[in-house]
Amino acid sequence: MNNPVYLDHPVYLDHNATAVVRPEARAAMAHALEHVGNPSSIHAAGRAARALVETAREQVAALIAAPPSTVVFTSGGTEANALAIESAIAAGARRLIISAIEHDSVQETARVHGLAVEILPVDANGLADLDGLRARLAAWDVADGKPFVALMLANNETGVIQPVAEAAEIVRAADGWLHVDAIQAAGKIAVDSRALGADTLSVSAHKIGGPQGVGALTFGPRATLSRRQHGGGQERGRRGGTENVPGISAFGAAAVEALTGLETFAARAVWRDAAAEALKAAGAVVMGEAAPRLANTLCIATPGFPADVQVMGLDLAHVMVSAGSACSSGKVKASPVLEAMGQGELAATAIRVSGGWSTTGADWTRFVDAWTAAHDRHTARRRQTVGAA
């Protein structure tokens, strides 16, 4: 670990937070920046800008198997989630059901409107309780309006893939609205928004190698979107504001590459699993191990080895991962996702390791070496402290 060569070759394993930008996305953005024109203008420059947006719309639609006419570009995944939830509320939802593992953008948007919010629990592996959902919707009170359920396709912390298609059948039988946050899943597994049965489904550019600040929402025939951001008639009147042409173009280019790479992405699970076995030998516990997971994601918790100590130790070795806990105002609190899985004290020792399109097997090996060295140092210090006492 003292090899100076490592200092010039940092390892980035935090793709679930934001992925490395793909060269194709950079090129598409640069190309768009070379052209002037508002896509709402009818002159030649405006039409050229509109063509860039519509090409990207088709490319993003292909990634999630959606009709291009149903894809609405937003400022990111957070806005896409908010547009879905607030549209459902505008359509008459008065009580919202969200899974215990949803992203903060879903949780906070659901709660800010003052409506009743129910939590759909998950089991020890992070899989949603569909029997509970079925029973709850069977007893639904019509006074609560159309049932609304939010269930993400793949969790950002554990990588656990949810049985969304089965959940959609349950929701549809109750004439409900199912929103699917597919932000972590898109580009890592095949996503067919219509086959999944999603009424609305969100994606984000920077999770697949596009730029930050661009997202999209697709909607099915049972959903009616209500414009939440007012202004002009952009995005077919569904979202006001001039489109981010360079960002959208880059999103489209990243979507093309992500879709092409799906065939080989699943094979990357070999690197993740080899790392998991090495860490398990040192006492680490793999979160969601018995459930289907994204090939790039490893969430581990190690008794007695705090998450922040792990992240700092790895960062000193030029290996970048994230804590499985959320930081707020300088304080570390246990991950609500892992707490919902019943992990208790282990939740405060969890870290997330997430590769991406640019990750290599050597990166995972570097991570294992760095983690093992940090774990050995921490264990030695603990022994010294106990001995001194």
For residue range 182-220, list pLDDT tens digits in order: 999 999 999 999 999 999 999 999 999 999 999 999 999
Under the banding of pLDDT at 50, 70 and 90, the label for residue 330 is very low
Name residue, tokens 């290996």: 319
Interatomic CA distance for residues 71 and 231, integer angstroms: 19
Q: Is the pLDDT of residue 1 over 90?
A: no
**Tally of structural domains, the chain:** 2
Under the banding of pLDDT at 50, 70 and 90, the label for residue 251 is very high
Shared domain for 239 and 134, answered yes or no, is yes
CATH number for 308 = 3.90.1150.10
Q: Is the pLDDT of residue 389 over 60?
A: no
Shared domain for 290 and 246, answered yes or no, is no
Are 47 and 53 spatial neighbours (Cβ–Cβ below 8 Å)?
no
Task: Supply the range of the domain harboring residue 224.
Answer: 23-260
Query: pTM for the full model?
Result: 0.94
One-letter amino acid of 354? S
% of the chain with per-residue pLDDT over 70:
94
Q: Where does a domain end: 226, 260, 294? A: 260
Shared domain for 57 and 196, answered yes or no, is yes
Phi and psi, residue 104, nearest 5°: -55, -35
Shared domain for 291 and 357, answered yes or no, is yes
Query: Which candidate, 282, 287, 261, places its Cα nearest to that of 374?
Result: 282
pLDDT value, residue 32? 97
Query: Which candidate, 140, 143, 147, places its Cα nearest to that of 178?
Result: 147
- Beta bridge partners, 19, equal none
Q: Is the pLDDT of residue 29 over 70?
A: yes
Q: Where does a domain end: 236, 260, 284? A: 260
- Beta bridge partners, 149, equal 97, 178
- In the set 7, 327, 362, 380, the catalytic residue is 327
CATH number for 88 = 3.40.640.10
One-letter amino acid of 200? T
pLDDT value, residue 386? 64
Phi and psi, residue 277, nearest 5°: -65, -40
Shared domain for 175 and 276, answered yes or no, is no
In the chain, what is the greatest distance between 2 CA atoms, to the nearest angstrom?
A: 79
Shared domain for 205 and 318, answered yes or no, is no
Shared domain for 255 and 360, answered yes or no, is no
Q: pLDDT by residue (tens digit) across 154-189? A: 999 999 999 999 999 999 999 999 999 999 999 999
Q: Is the pLDDT of residue 109 over 70?
A: yes
% of the chain with per-residue pLDDT over 90:
87
One-letter amino acid of 369? D
Shared domain for 160 and 83, answered yes or no, is yes
Burial of 163 (0-12, 13-18, 19+ CB in 10 A): middle
Q: pLDDT by residue (tens digit) across 233-246? A: 899 889 989 899 99
- In DSSP notation, 145-184 reads -S-EEE--SB-TTT-BBP-HHHHHHHHHHTT-EEEEE-TT
pLDDT value, residue 263? 87
Q: Is the pLDDT of residue 295 over 60?
A: yes
Shared domain for 54 and 175, answered yes or no, is yes
Handedness of CA 69, 27, 80, 166 (dihedral sign): positive
Phi and psi, residue 16, nearest 5°: -70, -20
pLDDT value, residue 229? 86
Shared domain for 304 and 187, answered yes or no, is no
pLDDT value, residue 4? 43
Shared domain for 152 and 194, answered yes or no, is yes
pLDDT value, residue 61? 98
Interatomic CA distance for residues 253 and 247, integer angstroms: 10
pLDDT value, residue 232? 84
Q: pLDDT by residue (tens digit) across 266-277? A: 999 999 999 999
Clarify whether 327 is annotated catalytic.
yes
Shared domain for 102 and 241, answered yes or no, is yes
Are 16 and 354 spatial neighbours (Cβ–Cβ below 8 Å)?
yes
End-to-end CA distance of the chain: 31
Q: Where does a domain end: 230, 260, 290? A: 260
pLDDT value, residue 8? 64
